[in-house]
């Protein structure tokens, strides 16, 4: 069974319906499911533009720390990213952003 966070349901009702996810209130993440071996997989879904803005505001770091603490296997699902170069530049539909990815190593 796939579970979707209630906030995700309010933001992406068609996606949640298409996935046939059961809606629950989560402490962290947008989607979750349990593996056959009993491990919990949690996913935080971000558009490329939201990834940039939440990274710059430190919201992303907080969300990922919480996701790591709440589930056995955390995933960050990034939608709409066009390209990433070796310097950390992300090309989205709207512009090119420069991000420092070092914070991920420190989570």
Is the distance from CB of 66 to CB of 27 less than 8 angstroms? yes
Please state, rounded to an integer, the average pLDDT across all residues of the chain: 84
* Half-sphere exposure of residue 80: CA atoms within 13 angstroms, side-chain side: 13
d(CA 19, CA 36): 19
Q: What is the pTM of this model?
A: 0.77
The per-residue pLDDT for 44 is 94
94, 12, 76, 71: CA torsion to nearest 10: 160
The string of pLDDT tens digits covering residues 42-79 is 999 988 778 878 888 889 889 999 999 999 999 998 88
Greater model confidence, 87 or 15: 15
Tell me what percent of the residues of the chain surpass a pLDDT of 70.
75
């Amino acid at each position: 069974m796939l579970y979707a966070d209630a906030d995700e349901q309010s933001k992406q009702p068609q996606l949640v319906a298409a996935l046939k996810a059961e809606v629950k209130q989560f402490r962290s993440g947008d989607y979750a499911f349990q593996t056959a071996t009993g491990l919990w997989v949690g996913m935080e879904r971000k558009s490329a533009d939201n990834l940039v803005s939440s990274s710059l505001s430190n919201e992303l770091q907080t969300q990922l720390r919480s996701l790591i603490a709440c589930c056995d296997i955390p995933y960050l699902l990034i939608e709409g990213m066009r390209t990433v170069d070796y310097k950390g530049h992300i090309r989205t539909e709207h512009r090119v952003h420069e991000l420092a990815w070092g914070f991920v190593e420190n989570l």
